[in-house]
Amino acid sequence: MSEHVTKETFEKMKEELHRMKTIDRPAASKAIAEAREKGDLKENAEYDAAKEAQGMLEAKIKQLEGVIATSKIVDPSTIDTSKVAVLTKVTITNMGTKKTVTYQIVGEKEADLKAGKISASSPIGKGLLGKAKGELAEIQAPTGIIKFKVEEISI
């Protein structure tokens, strides 16, 4: 599945990948070489730990390469605010509690609930996508169905 990201997030992901390949990967290789010099590999816990860390790093690199390859950069100036879409800010009211909150719908890589950013693939994000101002969204939650009214959509 492709990830919708801003140009800023895309650049941060590329920087992180570059750091992992140019700094972290050589450091992992060096740690393995140093552990190998300490003797019998069968009983060398330091060597095993270094190899495991290298494997985890390589998995992270592959995963990030995949995300970068399938990412779609979204330009905020081209977003239609007549309906909830990725990168729009949506103000919703919980019809049960009458509490109103504003979230920005983002890709998984940018999601940060404390910053008011929810993933488009989260239950609330999925339920809100495509809704227009004034529409109700029924979201399946562990406690049952929660109804939200879309109050405002902006950039």
Which CATH number do you get for residue 111?
A: 3.10.50.30
Domain shared by 91 and 57, yes or no? no
Claim to verify: residue 121 and residue 87 sit in the same structural domain: yes
> Which among 41, 73, 105 is the end of a domain?
73
H/E stretch holding 66: helix 45-70
Go through 55-92 and write b for each residue having 16 or more CB atoms within 10 A of its CB, e for each that does not.
eebeeebeebeebbeebeebeeeebeeebbbbbbbbeb
User: Where is average pLDDT lowest: 15-19, 33-37, 86-90, 95-99?
Assistant: 33-37
**Boundary of a domain, candidates 43, 73, 103:** 73
**DSSP label of 122:** S
Of the candidates 73, 106, 131, which is a domain's last residue? Answer: 73
> pTM here?
0.66
Split into its structural domains, the chain has a count of: 2
pLDDT band at 1 (very low <50, low <70, confident <90, very high): low
Q: Are residues 32 and 92 in the same domain?
A: no
Place of tokens 């019809």: 95
Q: Are residues 100 and 46 in the same domain?
A: no
**Mean pLDDT rounded to a whole number for the chain:** 89
Question: How many helices (H) and strands (E) in the chain?
Answer: 4, 7
| CATH number of residue 13's parent domain | 1.10.287.180
pLDDT band at 110 (very low <50, low <70, confident <90, very high): confident
Are 105 and 138 members of one domain? yes
| Region 25-46 average pLDDT | 85
Whether 76 shows a pLDDT value over 80: the answer reads no
* Residue 35 domain boundaries: 4-73
Residues 82, 149, single domain; the answer is: yes
Q: How much is the average pLDDT of 53-77?
A: 90
